[in-house]
């Protein structure tokens, strides 16, 4: 399966899920599931033998770094961890210079950073595929792993209701785009002033017209969560917003995934969180450790989904 689709996607950047068709996203998910099964069975898959991934981090990371570094190793290649302290970006080198130099030495570049424009600029000047490991605007690699997890637990993606509770951040944005691409009914419950922007909602609604899904925003978490198949949440203050933490705790105090919210969701609903979690804030300990939580399986799937991305585009 991997070999069949390498040529179809090879050389493509992975920046936003809206850049891909539902069929292409489905292929990525299927390849991820295949690679996971092979890894669990001890079957090696050195698809990227001899290839190198440059990994630029200006934001700290646990899951993204480990998933890409272990993933490229399991695919037979080598990953180079490049923090902003280690390379010249941190000393003011233009992103276009970094792109043109790195892409002459590596076979792919993954970047995890604050500014989405940095990723776009890196991709524009790079001659090798660029993978968006996270920006303040989008987190598409996480959502590919999320969609994979949903398919594993629910057997399908299309037609399911996914409800995101909390800040309309990069996760909300990417879930809106990825979910509606795949025909899901995506609802974001956020307070006014913290909701996803008009651009994202317009793209999500356009996706929904084509896929049969839907996209909406509500302020009431309980109303949003009614009959949800998937309940999803994230921290109230993202990296770089630490100074807003106390203010956000007051604003989001009623936007918590807890047992009361689970009661209005579908009885078989699964609970997801991209991690790290602040237990007792956006999610309770009881729900996080409860039988409906798939948080750790979701985290593991970062490895397999990221491997699928690299195998297909590099």
Catalytic residues: 112, 139, 142, 234, 274, 302
Positive or negative: CA dihedral 118, 121, 181, 143: negative
Report the alpha-carbon distance of residue 207 to residue 223 in Å, rounded: 23
Give the CA distances from residue 310 to residues 66, 73, 76, in Å, rounded to whole numbers and listed in that order.
14, 11, 11
Question: 58 vs 45, 146, 151, CA distance in Å?
Answer: 30, 24, 32
Structure tokens at 175: 């879930």
Helix and strand numbers (H, E) in the chain are 13, 9
Listed in sequence order, the residues at least 6 apart from 26 whose beta carbon sits closer than 8 Å to its beta carbon are 182
- Sheet order of strands, 52-57 included: 78-83, 52-57, 108-112, 130-134
Inter-CA distances, 229 with 213, 215, 242, Å: 14, 15, 31
Using the structure block, give the residue that is written with the tokens 């630490």.
242
What stretch of H or E contains 313? helix 295-313
The answer to whether 11 and 291 are in contact (CB under 8 A) is no
CB 144 within 8 A of CB 28: yes
């Amino acid at each position: 399966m991997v070999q069949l689709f390498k040529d179809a996607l090879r050389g493509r950047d992975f920046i936003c899920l809206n850049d891909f068709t539902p069929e292409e996203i489905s292929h990525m998910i299927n390849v991820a599931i295949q690679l996971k099964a092979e890894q669990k069975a001890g079957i090696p898959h050195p698809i990227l033998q001899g290839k190198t991934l440059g990994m630029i981090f200006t934001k700290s990371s646990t899951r993204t770094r480990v998933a890409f570094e272990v993933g490229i190793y399991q695919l037979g290649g080598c990953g180079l961890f490049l923090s902003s302290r280690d390379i010249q970006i941190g000393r003011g080198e233009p992103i276009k210079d970094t792109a043109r130099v790195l892409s002459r030495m590596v076979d792919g570049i993954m970047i995890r950073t604050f500014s989405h424009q940095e990723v776009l600029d890196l991709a524009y000047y790079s001659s090798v595929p660029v993978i968006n490991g996270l920006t303040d605007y989008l987190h598409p690699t996480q959502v590919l792993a999320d969609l994979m997890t949903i398919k594993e637990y629910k057997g399908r993606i299309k037609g399911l209701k996914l409800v995101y509770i909390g800040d309309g951040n990069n996760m909300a944005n990417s879930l809106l785009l990825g979910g509606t691409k795949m025909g899901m009914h995506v609802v974001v419950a956020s307070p006014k002033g913290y909701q996803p922007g008009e651009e994202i909602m317009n793209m999500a609604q356009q996706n929904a017209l084509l896929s049969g899904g839907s996209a909406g925003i509500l302020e009431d978490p309980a109303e949003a969560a009614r009959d949800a198949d998937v309940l999803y949440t994230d921290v109230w203050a993202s990296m770089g917003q630490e100074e807003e933490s106390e203010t956000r705790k007051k604003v989001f105090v009623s936007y918590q995934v807890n047992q009361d919210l689970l009661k209005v969701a579908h009885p078989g609903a699964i609970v997801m969180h991209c991690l790290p979690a602040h237990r007792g804030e956006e999610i309770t300990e009881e729900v996080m450790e409860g039988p409906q939580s798939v948080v750790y399986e979701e985290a593991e799937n970062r490895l397999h989904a990221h491997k699928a991305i690299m195998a297909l585009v590099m």
